[in-house]
Structure 1
C-alpha cells in the first residue's frame, strides 16, 4: 500500500468504535454526552463508513436509510489533525457512490458550519423548509440525579 493511501470501508469490524464514540460524545455539540449504549444502537441500525489513512481510522460517517428512497447523513467527522486535506470530500464521494445509496430520491443532513463541505456534492438549502418539522430533544443524553 502506498504511503498516505486513503481507503474506505463499511465493515463494522474495521471501525475504531472507541475512537468514534470518544470523538462524538466528547468533541461534538450534537452528540455531547451520548451514552455508549445509545451510540452502539445507532451504529447497529445504520450504514457506517470509515475512512482510513495507512490503516488507521481518521474519519467517520453514518447514514440512516431505507436503501430505496431516503437517507439521513449524520455524525460526519474527520479527526482535527487530518482536516483540510480533502478527506471529508473523498469520504462523501465514496458514500454517494455506494450501491446502497444510489438512486435515492432524498438525502438530508443537518450542519451548523460545514456547508462548504456538502455543497460540492449537490446539497442545497431546503427548497421548502416550511414543509419540514422536527421533534427535538436536546437534553435527552443528560442524566437526571
Structure 2
C-alpha cells in the first residue's frame, strides 16, 4: 500500500482517532480519551500506522527497556486489516532502538495468534509460572 508510514512518539498520535479505534476493541469497549492518553504517557513506546495523515493503527509498549517488554493495545482499523499492517507495527516495535536490550517480550491475544507467530512470538513456554491479579474493569459511561 502506498502512503503508509509508521511513526512513534506521543506528538505523532491522533488520540481522538486512537480512542475511537480502541473503544471498539473487545478488550477496552468504551474507553475514554483521558484513559488512552494516560496509558500512552506512561508507556515506553507508542506507535501508529498512518495513510498520509490519517491514523489507521496503534500499539504501545510497557517496558523497563532492559529485560522485559509487554506489547498491548495493538489495533488496525477494520477496513485496513489483512494487509500486514499489524505485523509491520510489531516489527517496528521489536526493532526500535530504545528496546534493543529487551530479551523477553510478552503480549496477550485472544484471536491473532497467526499474526504474532509470523513475527516470532510463540505460546508462553512455562504458562504455569505466570500469575496475575485480575480486578474488575472500571465502569465506563
Q: TM-score, normalised by structure 2?
A: 0.91
C-alpha contact (below 8 Å) 1:34/1:141 kept by paired residues: no
* Residue pairs, 1:43-82, within 5 angstroms: 43-46=40-43, 47-82=45-80
Q: Secondary structure at the match of 2:99?
A: coil
The partner residue of 1:39 within 36, 49, 64 is 36
* Residue pairs, 1:114-133, within 5 angstroms: 114-133=112-131
* Superposed displacement of residue 116, structure 1: 0.5
C-alpha contact (below 8 Å) 1:33/1:142 kept by paired residues: no
Q: CA-atom RMSD, angstroms?
A: 1.7
* Superposed displacement of residue 35, structure 1: 3.8
Q: Which runs of 4+ in 1 moved over 3 A?
A: none
* Superposed displacement of residue 120, structure 1: 1.3
1:99 alignment counterpart:
97
Q: Secondary structure at the match of 1:100?
A: helix
Q: TM-score, normalised by structure 1?
A: 0.89
CA 141–36 in structure 1, closer or farther in 2 if over 3 Å, else same: farther
Higher Cα Rg, which structure: 1
Equivalent pairs, count: 140
For 1:143 and 1:79, the matched residues in 2 are separated by 22
* Superposed displacement of residue 105, structure 1: 1.8
Instruction: Note the residue ranges of structure 2 that are not aligned, 5 or more in a row.
Output: none
